[in-house]
A = this chain, B = another copy of it.
């Protein structure tokens, strides 16, 4: 009686026998899609202070992390096995330092005109930008934590608008 389509959400990357598969988007139309992912890099007050103390330091670190995030989003389909390659119309990486919490929030925004969503591109851009901040500050604090990396917003495609605030 019940079928997978009745049963609510399913794992789209698994077929009936539980084997992995790429989702077939042959029949889908291209639409404008966007996704926003966010995560936070939390470090010790000492490491955070060092980032602010040296001339240019924070700007150079964040620009480097931004470049790393943009480049990673373009290579998302090489990293995440079942992602489709797609042409990104835009990738933006923003940083929101929080002096009180010694943390930096990373926000990645991706857009495409294509048949599938860009959630993974945004999540990957956010993660790699955060990893780059970790790399550049780890000499001061090996225990830096990447936390709360999650999708914040998506639009376009069958599921339309979705937000998680």
- A interface, CB within 8 angstroms of B: 8-14, 17-26, 32, 39, 46-47, 50-51, 54-57, 59-61, 63-64, 66-68, 70-72, 74-75, 77-92, 111, 113-115, 119-120, 123-124, 127-128, 131-132, 134-151, 154, 162, 164
Contact A87 B89 (CB under 8 A): no
Given A83-B135, A88-B84, A146-B146, A11 contacting B57 (CB threshold 8 A):
yes
Residues on B with beta carbons closer than 8 Å to the beta carbon of A68? 67, 79-81
What chain B residues lie within 8 Å of A46 (beta carbons)? Answer: 8-9
* Interface pair A22/B91, CB less than 8 Å apart: yes
Chain B residues within an 8 Å CB radius of A84: 87-89
Nearest CB of chain B from residue A125's CB, rounded to whole Å: 11
